Amino acid sequence: MKELKKYFKLDAGPEDIYNALTNQVMLEIWTGEPAVMSTEPGSEFSLWDGSIEGINVEFEENKKIVQKWFFEEEESIVTIKLHPDKKGTSIELRQNNIPDDAFDNISEGWAEDYFGSLAELFKA
């Protein structure tokens, strides 16, 4: 099992990024797929029409999101921290317990599908 730690910068404030990551309507807009999301700890979520599923663990409004993601029988904790930056938001991503054979695909997915698509949403 592997752990992933990455940093991203987006041209939007932490409030806008947090909203895009936690608001079901916004998630469906930038992913283009059905989503289920709530900011209630313990609630289930689903992204990309069920491609990613798990349980919401913790929310700190405009600052942090912690989720438990499921990979078949494995569980992985995803932590997203939002930090104000001069030109928008600096994002710290951590994900643990990633199956070795899925690591490259997951790493690319975060960069391209997740934060790449989110960056498109906030392009001027």
pTM: 0.95
Q: Does domain 2-121 have CATH number 3.30.530.20?
A: yes
pLDDT of residue 81: 98
pLDDT of residue 27: 96
pLDDT of residue 45: 97
**Which residue type, as a one-letter code, is found at position 50?**
G
Phi, psi of 70 (to 5 degrees): -110, 135
pLDDT of residue 124: 58
Q: Which residues, given as ranges, of the chain have pLDDT below 50?
A: none
Contact between 14 and 83 (Cβ < 8 Å): yes
**Rounded CA separation 110/85 (Å):** 20
Domain boundaries, the chain: 2-121
